Amino acid sequence: MPCVLYLMGETFDPASIPELATLRPFSSYRRGDKNPSGKAGFCEVGGVTCSVSTHEQPIDQVEDASYYLTRYQALLRTLKDVEPIRYRTLSFIISARVLGAQESRMNFPPTLLRLCAEVNVGIGLVLV
């Protein structure tokens, strides 16, 4: 399961910030665009989705996320006050099987939490 970064907002048009290409999003959409996931309907918000990690293990995802946020810290800091970007979330998508096999709950190291705070990015945990 992956770890992804979502930057979204109701009036956010990703084309208005060409620097976003540096983050190498695998999905970019505007409000009203056809749903990029292939499901029926249209996007309710505009945004980009960037791959941060492709690893299944949470510890590997956390390591990749720390590296990603450090690598793009300067750009993400410039985006933290961009009004149309209302939602900034680093989502860790983890299978219940993997999390259960660890015999513990998911812990985020202080370094990652500090990086997220510095660039105004929230953290989400999605169990599948």
Q: pLDDT tens, 75-101?
A: 999 998 888 999 999 999 888 887 766
| Contacts with 1 (C-beta within 8 Å, 6 or more apart), sequence order | 56, 93, 94, 95, 98, 128
Residue 49 structural domain: 3-127
Question: What ranges make up the beta strands (E) of 42-86?
Answer: 46-53
Q: What pLDDT does residue 91 have?
A: 95
* CB contact at 8 A, 21 and 8: no
**Alpha carbon 18 to chain centroid, angstroms:** 18
Q: What pLDDT does residue 104 have?
A: 57
| Paired tokens of 57 | 């293990």
pLDDT at residue 66 is higher than 60: yes
Each residue's pLDDT tens digit, 17-65: 999 989 989 988 888 787 776 777 777 888 999 999 999 888 899 999 9
Q: How far apart are CA 114 and CA 110, in angstroms?
A: 6
Please return the burial class of 47, using the count of CB atoms within 10 Å of its CB with bins 0-12, 13-18 and 19+: buried
pLDDT at residue 3 is higher than 90: yes
Half-sphere exposure of 27 (CA within 13 A, CB side): 19
Give the three-state DSSP class for 22: helix
Report pTM: 0.86
* CB contact at 8 A, 99 and 58: yes
Domain count, the chain: 1
